[in-house]
Amino acid sequence: MKLLFTGCNGFVGKNVIPLLREKSFNIKTLGTHDADFIRDIREKLPAFDESFNIVFHAAGKAHSIPKTREEENQFYNVNYEGTKNICQALEKKLPEIFIFISTVAVYGREDGYNISEDFPLEGATAYAKSKIKAEEFLSEWCKRNGVKLFIFRPSLIAGPSAPGNLRDMIRAIKKGRYFNISDGNAKKSIFWVEDFAKLTELTIVNMGGIYNVCDNMHPTFKDVSCRVAELLHKKSPHNIPKFFAKLIAIVGDVLGSRFPINSNKLKKITDSLTFSNEKIKEQLNFSPSNVIENFKI
């Protein structure tokens, strides 16, 4: 199978492309550098002169909080307009399958348990809204062109050299500066990045659809932080009372990005937020990896 992988230099691409090549996929890459097609997807793209069985669209903007309207627009320029530009470049030689990496952020939930694909899309951030618009565009474009569409909405993605909040946790544990709040019992759904290779194979023999992707365990912050500490040969993180963490977070609200925690981040690490993966397990016969068991730094 011939596959076009967008965002090849990102976290997902670096971990998944080698696995797909091991599975004998013929991979062509698209990115802003070190790729077969060096493209800025924010701009109109030339039409592809070769055909692909599968497009794995992982290019996107995430892991930042916009401070200006211009920074907000970058999410739309990359996640929405970029998706449109890729599709338009594919229209002369349509793929059979289109895989889009979306996000559970589209639900706009900060807490809750077992959130399924039937929940309303209430994401209010520029990141979430740009992904929602991209999903809507792809649903119409793929239906109109007879392309099988898989929208995967991953939770927190774990894997070697993970970005975002997981990277921040690892760095803090390395320096001995990470503390669990209360008992660290807030649960979060996590997905092992290498499982995207399994899912790609499953798209070939299944119908399309929209799916949450996460493992079955929904580990706690304590589970994850203790596993990271074990791999780093560090002591398990200590706990601090929630009231004390709130005081520290107020200081962070004042100091801004120079401080490691604020009230918004505190809420995220003390409220449980889990998602249902029953649909993808039932419809695609997918068996997710256990993130804690597979965890690598």
- pLDDT tens-digit series, residues 122-157: 999 999 999 999 999 999 999 999 999 999 999 999
Residue 240 lies in a domain: no
Tell if the pTM clears 0.85, that is, is over it: yes
Residue 140 lies in a domain: yes
Provide CB contacts within 8 A for 158, sequence distance 6+.
166, 190, 191, 192, 193, 291, 295
**pLDDT on residue 212:** 98
User: DSSP per residue over 223-258, as a string?
Assistant: HHHHHHHHHTT-PPPEEE-HHHHHHHHHHHHHHGGG
Q: What is the CATH number of the domain that holds 207?
A: 3.40.50.720
Residue 117 lies in a domain: yes
Residue 296 lies in a domain: no
CA distance 183 to 55: 43
Q: What type of residue sits at position 135?
A: E
Of 2 and 263, the structure prediction assigns the larger pLDDT to 2
Domain that holds residue 128: 2-161+190-215+275-289
The answer to which of 32-41, 80-89, 176-185, 280-289 has the lowest mean pLDDT is 176-185
In degrees, rounded to 5, the angle at the alpha carbon of residue 95 between the alpha carbons of residues 93 and 100 is 130
Instruction: Look at the block and give the residue holding tokens 């008992």.
Output: 183
Which of 8, 48, 49 has the alpha carbon at shortest distance from 31?
8
Number of structural domains the chain divides into: 1
Residue 243 lies in a domain: no
Residue 127 lies in a domain: yes
**pLDDT on residue 257:** 67
**Residue length, the chain?**
297
